[in-house]
Amino acid sequence: GAVVSQHPSWVICKSGTSVKIECRSLDFQATTMFWYRQFPKQSLMLMATSNEGSKATYEQGVEKDKFLINHASLTLSTLTVTSAHPEDSSFYICSANPGGQYNQPQHFGDGTRLSIL
Amino acid sequence: SQKIEQNSEALNIQEGKTATLTCNYTNYSPAYLQWYRQDPGRGPVFLLLIRENEKEKRKERLKVTFDTTLKQSLFHITASQPADSATYLCALAPAGYSTLTFGKGTMLLVSP
């Protein structure tokens, strides 16, 4: 149980394009989802906490106008990278757990590899 | 400043041996500490959680210790197998914070 699905797995697109990444909880409801970014050989860096029905909470240094988060249902959160540039190329991963607790085991999606040309 | 440190160099061991990975932290007072496994190009998979009032936790061939005095957690895999080769991440849920903070991870390579 507690499966999180992320789509797409990888995206290659031109600079200036906006890219939407979906994160779904398949067998539980997730009032809270977390979005991370990971550069090669680096740790997962929390970008934002996505809250169902309300605004996301962004970490310091993350541009909320650049990384739009929508959590319109209890099973789906989306991250849109607007006007993406090569420096936005990274591995984006979402996580959630049935209780919505940050300090309980997280179930991660398999990530989205974003490459901006 | 707050830090979570894991061995940056890969750990190479032979099949059947016990692998021991270290997670040190500074300037945190974590209520929980978690360990995850991450394979290349995949999301992390949860392995074990240990609370600040627990000294040790076991699950099959895995064992985690948590020493809040030393500010250190050790992660052991006994009777290691090549399939255990992966990057292992520790993560803290500090008291007073509402987020999970990850270390960079240590790559484990188990050779046959």
State residue A72's pLDDT score.
Answer: 84
Whether A81 has a pLDDT exceeding 70, the answer reads yes
Q: Return the higher-pLDDT residue of A105 and B20.
A: B20
Enclosing H/E stretch for B42 = none
Residue of A nearest to B99 (CA): A102
CA dist., res. A99 & res. A71, Å (int): 16
Region A25-35: mean pLDDT is 92
Ordered mean pLDDT values, 10 residues apiece, chain B (112 residues): 85 97 89 93 95 93 95 96 97 77 95 96
State residue A2's pLDDT score.
Answer: 80
Cβ-Cβ contacts under 8 Å for A81 (sequence gap 6 or more):
A18, A19, A21, A66, A67, A88, A92, A114
Residue entry with tokens 């974590």: B30
Beta-carbon separation of B43 and A6 below 8 A: yes
Region A105-117: mean pLDDT is 95
**B59 has a chain A CB within 8 A of its CB:** no
CA dist., res. A98 & res. A4, Å (int): 10
State residue B96's pLDDT score.
Answer: 65
Beta-carbon separation of B43 and A110 below 8 A: yes
Chain B residues in contact with A111 by the CB 8 A cut-off are 41-43
**A44 has a chain B CB within 8 A of its CB:** yes
Chain A residues in contact with B45 by the CB 8 A cut-off are 108
State residue B31's pLDDT score.
Answer: 78
